[in-house]
Structure 1
């Protein structure tokens, strides 16, 4: 009899537990998760730490979203990931976004000589300047980009915005892959090979200070090669997204003088197919927690809602546009 009573009590407890769960609902099942991949760049650049911080913000501040930052080959590769639907958001250079949206430059169909636009590419936010740094070592006898003829040069990872910048800038100095020895290396690989003397110089397009360049400066006497303002002005007549900038003295160890160079802008892009309400929520969370990005990397201090639409080179996603219009951001 005691056993029967015990069983009855156990059954009652189970029934009561089920009734309680039914009353409050099944939270995990009631709220479907949206898994969001964020394409960044290499770990030695700026995209990755900012992307990791952004993914953390979105995962903690946007209900139902689980965001993850993933490494990649950077701008060109990221746009291909967006076009295929492999990621939902990506960091890219604004010049590469423009070329992709209009199907020009590296997005041309060279066989049939016609544009191949990435029609579903949409803008979310303009972020910060990306500085083109041409790095070599003192003692190599290299004083100018023109001196890179017949030298071994890291021109960026395949499919990166850096590689596009390298080709365009080399051309401005009368150089190309026909008269240098190009190596397609990401930032970390370029830093290691420059430190070891395997290559003579490296192109690195990223916010300053860049971890890869700091890594070189920590153990070797580096030199930054200038891109004079006059050359930048000439470049801008054909590629309007280049602007002249100066790398301040002492940005890196041993760099005791300012260096003239060029810059483009980093931005966030997404796909047209992404839900308007989702992109609205992501954009809102970005700007309401921008301090998290500012803490993640020094370039985060350049990220401001006041400049979020300034110079946007492509059509903006409807969700992001709704957020900016509600807050009077032009």
Structure 2
């Protein structure tokens, strides 16, 4: 009888252990951006898609400091997946611009939507071209941010230096506040339109957006091919009644190289098979499509993501 009781107890313990194994989850975190930006709500939407459709994964969307900080987290193995601009992902992978060493463990999952250069000025100011910035008060983005990296690249092509103007290193919120206080002549924001900080500014302050010439954009793309030509349509922001021709970069999802092929394949497949669920999360989601998933890719794909795209007949670009 005692032996029978021992066997029953052993069966119970083994059953409980196997049950626990069956329901064990793998935990992933996605680094996004601030709560007022686009990365944050989309990150939450992607986490929800994976959690609802893949029981063995538990994905959490984390607030973050956007591209540069997110890439540092990936590069130092502190987080599994992150949002980042494709230009900064390239610089992080190569160890250029604001990155002092290459993070060669960065891998791509897919590209999402364009993020546009917002070259903002006040309607009363005589700033109509990038060369008009000489001698002006200009916000070039927070130090080491994606915005500042893009501005440095654009100034490089234009032949401008920070010494040519009165430069302030300001984030989105402080840039718009300085405009409201009439302490800036021009400023740069890089984000998918419409972005809330610029919308808020335009409702209280007569602003304008400056277009870039065809020749300038061609020269920019020749030196920095991850930029693309795009347009912010008239009426996107109050008082800006003309189309604005401007460079854009691309928001993308990146991950660590050491994540398993099966895990990243499952993540990628589940995201794209349910991507239209994101339409209810943010207006920018309508631009996220499988057809453009590799447009603007700037780092090598993770093998798990590459496996999915190959199954869908999508050519994998070579990244050098």
Task: Bin the TM-score by the shorter chain.
Answer: 0.7 to 0.9
Which residue of structure 1 lines up, in the alignment, with residue 164 of structure 2? Answer: 179
Which residue of structure 1 lines up, in the alignment, with residue 175 of structure 2? Answer: 190
Which residue of structure 2 lines up, in the alignment, with residue 296 of structure 1? Answer: 281
State the alpha-carbon separation in 2 of the partners of residues 36 and 206 from structure 1.
26
1:101 to 84, 89, 93: 93
1:306 to 259, 280, 291: 291
Change (3 A) 1:24 1:72: closer
Unmatched 5+ stretches in structure 1 = 1-15, 110-115
Q: Conserved in 1, the CA contact under 8 Å of 2:111 and 2:252?
A: yes
Which residue of structure 2 lines up, in the alignment, with residue 136 of structure 1? Answer: 121
Q: Secondary structure at the match of 2:241?
A: coil
Which residue of structure 2 lines up, in the alignment, with residue 160 of structure 1? Answer: 145
Change (3 A) 1:232 1:31: same
State the alpha-carbon separation in 2 of the partners of residues 203 and 145 from structure 1.
11
Shift of 1:22: 7.6
State the alpha-carbon separation in 1 of the partners of residues 182 and 26 from structure 2.
46
Q: Conserved in 1, the CA contact under 8 Å of 2:173 and 2:197?
A: yes
Counterpart check, 1:92 vs 2:84: yes
Alignment of structure 1 residues 201-216 onto 2, 5 Å: 201-216=186-201
* CA deviations over 1:136-186 (Å, ceiling 9, x no partner): 222233333323233332222333221111112233334222232333332
Which residue of structure 1 lines up, in the alignment, with residue 36 of structure 2? Answer: 44
* Number of residue equivalences: 308
Q: For structure 1, which segment, 169-178 or 117-126, has the greater mean C-alpha deviation from structure 2 after superposition?
A: 169-178
TM-score by length of 2: 0.86
State the alpha-carbon separation in 2 of the partners of residues 305 and 160 from structure 1.
28
Shift of 1:25: 6.9
1:242 to 227, 231, 237: 227
State the alpha-carbon separation in 2 of the partners of residues 205 and 75 from structure 1.
11
Q: Conserved in 1, the CA contact under 8 Å of 2:176 and 2:198?
A: yes
Shift of 1:23: 5.9
Q: Conserved in 2, the CA contact under 8 Å of 1:44 and 1:188?
A: no
Change (3 A) 1:207 1:27: farther
Which residue of structure 2 lines up, in the alignment, with residue 67 of structure 1? Answer: 59
Query: Displaced runs of 4+ in structure 1, greater than 4 A?
Result: 19-30
TM-score by length of 1: 0.84
Change (3 A) 1:329 1:184: same
Shift of 1:29: 6.5
State the alpha-carbon separation in 1 of the partners of residues 164 and 201 from structure 2.
26
State the alpha-carbon separation in 2 of the partners of residues 243 and 29 from structure 1.
48
State the alpha-carbon separation in 1 of the partners of residues 180 and 290 from structure 2.
39
Shift of 1:262: 0.8
Q: Conserved in 2, the CA contact under 8 Å of 1:294 and 1:303?
A: no
Shift of 1:28: 5.9
Q: Conserved in 1, the CA contact under 8 Å of 2:141 and 2:189?
A: yes
CA RMSD of aligned residues (A): 2.6
Q: Secondary structure at the match of 2:148?
A: helix
